[in-house]
Structure 1
Amino acid sequence: MNKKVRILSLVIMGFLAVASCGKKDPKVGEPAEVNQTVNDSETPSETVDNVLVIEGNDQMQFNKTELKALAGKPIKLTLKHVGKIPKEAMGHNLVILQEGTDEAAFAAKAINAKDTDYIPASEKASIVAHTKLLGGGEEDTIEFTIDKKGTYNFLCTFPGHVAMMKGTLIVE
């Protein structure tokens, strides 16, 4: 009995490892996915219009690690959770931090802020803007303005996600 449990555990762990690391190949006749590279975030229309779209998936990844916007103009940012897992197990948000904020210290405080969707109330002054916590298939759009040019870090504050789900918003 114990041997069967071990073998089953190994099979399940192997399946999860393969499923979480692999990239889904498009089916014949289907177009391949677009917007998978960092360079896609640099398209002129996104910067000029300050309309930004970023996706989070069930493999704890944003599809972009760099976003660009123009200072002093309204920014419209949409986060799409393109996965299927509910937010209780694989929630994603996007929090843009003020320049100079200690990302690790912020994330450590966020872990204990479950009641406020992992947005620590004590750190409001460190936040430029943030989306809601989303589950698979959900999306949220926020609008905000950043007047000062600079580089602003963004991250997902769901416990454990900051290690893989972070990037920079460059305001020019």
Structure 2
Amino acid sequence: MTRYFPALLALAALLLCSASALARNCAVTIEGNDRMEFNLRLIRVPADCTQLRVTLKHTGRIEAKVMGHNWVLAETRHHRDLGLAGGRMKLADGYLPRNDARVIAATPIIGGGQSAEVVLPTSRLRKGGDYTFFCSFPGHWNMMKGKLVFE
């Protein structure tokens, strides 16, 4: 028994670890192009992720002031209003109202050949929530969009 004691102790310690200690960080890369398209329409986030790192890559060639893209996450019920509000904002604001609580996460606006990242703590999401990601550049929000599912 004594020779197995260290192994049993290690196994017991492992079993007692909390779920948060075993949780992981997750990442996804999404691309936007000069045709106002994202390459993904659905992003699934496993429930054991404590944070999600989103990398946006602009695969086009046009500069940000003409064909910029960002990645914005909001509850679906706020998607349209944020998109319309973004049309009244400036590039320096990321085409989003400043400090708007409806924005869960957002990257800066980028142009062709550039990339940007945002890290989202999943504590800001709820399982079964209805989330839409989109580009808030004026006129893009209704075409460049998709669903995020927190499982």
TM-score by length of 1: 0.67
Higher relative contact order (CA 8 A, sep 6+): 2
* TM-fit CA distance, 1:49: 5.2
Q: Does 1:118 align with 2:95?
A: yes
Query: Structure 1, unaligned stretches of length 5 or more?
Result: 1-47
Query: Structure 2, unaligned stretches of length 5 or more?
Result: 1-23
User: What is the one-letter code of the residue matched to 1:52?
Assistant: V
Q: Does 1:58 align with 2:37?
A: no
Higher helix proportion (structure 1 or 2):
1
RMSD: 1.6
1:25-36 alignment, distance < 5 Å = none
Partner of 2:68: 91
Q: Does 1:105 align with 2:100?
A: no
**% identical equivalent positions:** 36
Structure having the higher Rg: 2
Higher strand proportion (structure 1 or 2):
2
Q: 1:64-91 CA distances to partner (integer Å, 9 max, x unpaired)?
A: 1100112451111100000000001000
Partner of 2:141: 162
TM-score by length of 2: 0.76
Further displaced range: 81-90 or 103-112: 103-112
Partner of 1:67: 43
In 1: Cα distance, 2:36 partner to 2:94 partner? 17
Pairs aligned (count): 123
In 1: Cα distance, 2:138 partner to 2:55 partner? 21
